[in-house]
Structure 1
Amino acid sequence: MQKDAYTLILEAIDSGIYRPGDRLVESELAERFGVSRTPVREALQRLETQSMLARDGRSLIVASLDHNQLAELYVVRAELEALAARLAAKHAAPEEIAVLQEMIDEDHGKLGDPAALSRANRRFHHQIHLASHNRYLVQQLDLVHRSMALLATTSLAVEGRGTAALDEHQAIVDAIRAGDGEAAAGALRAHISKAFETRLKHDAGSDAKPG
């Protein structure tokens, strides 16, 4: 199935081709993706409405999140993902749990590559969303994770965070496998909280550096 301009631009932001602050030019996008300018224009308008893009004079740039927006996003993400984990503990098929475990096992081989680990992390979380077997929750979490693409860096790049994150993933899967919804929700909420704390410390350190 051919992807539309909206999906193509969104994926380019999500994969880091376009980063916060980058200017998006209609003609360049049309040429890059091999589509006409009209669907690109419509896609840009839609992304601006969704706050994925922002105005900079007459130009459209990839939006960035300020501290307050970041905090608000993590609060919503923690609660929705905790709910997904709770539901997954109740509804996940054995095969879905096996896939989650395989992801963790494979991701230990990506510990030296923060970008690969970040992509794997998104897949892991999305698999938990699907295992909740609640389409409305999956839709809402898709929106939340779309906004996560506006973060210029991954907390998984911080030294030691990758190993800790995989240990936290294991605790989540263990609770889901045991059918313990409260433990799964608690483990997921703690995981998101730790990721947020790591990001805040990293950003504070970056801001303190000259240049």
Structure 2
Amino acid sequence: MPDFKPPKDAYTLILEAIDLGVYKPGDRLVESELADRFGVSRTPIREALQRLETQSLLTRDGRSLIVASLDHNQLAELYAVRAELEGFAARLAARHATDEEVRLLRAMVEEDRKLMDEPKALSRANRRFHKQIHLASHNRYLVQQLDLVHRSMALLATTSISFEGRGSQTIDEHAAIVEAIAAQDGQGAYEALKTHISTAFLTRLRQDSDSPERYSL
């Protein structure tokens, strides 16, 4: 019997659309259009938009709501927080990850090697990999905070993995993180993941230097 998956609510549908680049920074979101797109009434759409505005994922432009964008300082702050929290998650994963979780992380790395020429698919796989490390920390409060950080990452409209050579480098960095976790080397896992995020940030800065009017992940 297949697993039952509950239908996604309006908030999740809009957030995923932003994350996938259907709606990019600066795009205007209209209740009626969103209701038609997702096949739901306007009331849950309105509530979802209010929630997203509260979380600073949407901002006001007159009477309209638009997808927020990040300036250079906000981008740097986001990456700084992400590096520390994800590094901490890796440290805890080295201490608490089960054998099954380690095997899953290793399998993810090997499966992701097949996606080198598919930046969008590799980007989705990258998010799954990081989420699995969060879960392997076995700290629900840390997972909640990382979920908040990754919601803000949805405002970054492209992936640094698309930068030339970054895909294979990302996979190698993931492999190093997993092996540190497998060896129960908390400090090594922490440093490997922080270095991974730092390298991604540097790649992002190099990307955005070609289009400084927009910062995106």
Instruction: Indicate whether the TM-score tops 0.5.
Output: yes
Residue correspondence of structure 1 range 14-33 to structure 2 within 5 A: 14-33=19-38
Residue correspondence of structure 1 range 1-211 to structure 2 within 5 A: 1-207=6-212
CA distance in 1, matches of 2:116, 2:68: 29
CA distance in 2, matches of 1:97, 1:9: 33
- Give 2:66's aligned amino acid: I
User: How many corresponding residue pairs?
Assistant: 208
Greater share of helix residues, 1 or 2? 1
CA distance in 2, matches of 1:159, 1:2: 37
Give the C-alpha shift of residue 107 in structure 1: 0.7
Identical-pair percentage: 74
SS at match of 2:198: helix
- Give 2:202's aligned amino acid: E
Q: Residue deviations 1:150-169, cap 9 Å, x none?
A: 01211101000111111110
Give the C-alpha shift of residue 200 in structure 1: 0.3
CA distance in 2, matches of 1:207, 1:28: 30
Which residue of the partner structure matches residue 3 of structure 2? Answer: none
Structure 1 runs, 4 residues or longer, greater than 4 Å off: none
Give the C-alpha shift of residue 15 in structure 1: 1.8
- Give 1:47's aligned amino acid: L
- Give 2:172's aligned amino acid: D
CA distance in 2, matches of 1:197, 1:81: 17
Q: Residue deviations 1:6-44, cap 9 Å, x none?
A: 111111111222111111110011111111111111110
Q: Residue deviations 1:122-181, cap 9 Å, x none?
A: 000000000000000001001101101101211101000111111110110000000000
- TM-score, with structure 2 as normaliser: 0.93
CA distance in 2, matches of 1:67, 1:207: 9
CA distance in 1, matches of 2:170, 2:7: 35
Q: Which sections of structure 2, spanning at least 5 residues, go unmatched?
A: 1-5
CA distance in 1, matches of 2:9, 2:179: 39
- TM-score, with structure 1 as normaliser: 0.96
Give the C-alpha shift of residue 205 in structure 1: 2.4
SS at match of 2:211: helix
Given that 2:92 and 2:137 are in contact with CA atoms closer than 8 Å, whether structure 1 keeps it comes out as yes
RMSD (CA atoms): 1.1
- Give 1:170's aligned amino acid: A
CA distance in 1, matches of 2:207, 2:177: 25
SS at match of 1:205: coil
Q: Which sections of structure 1, spanning at least 5 residues, go unmatched?
A: none
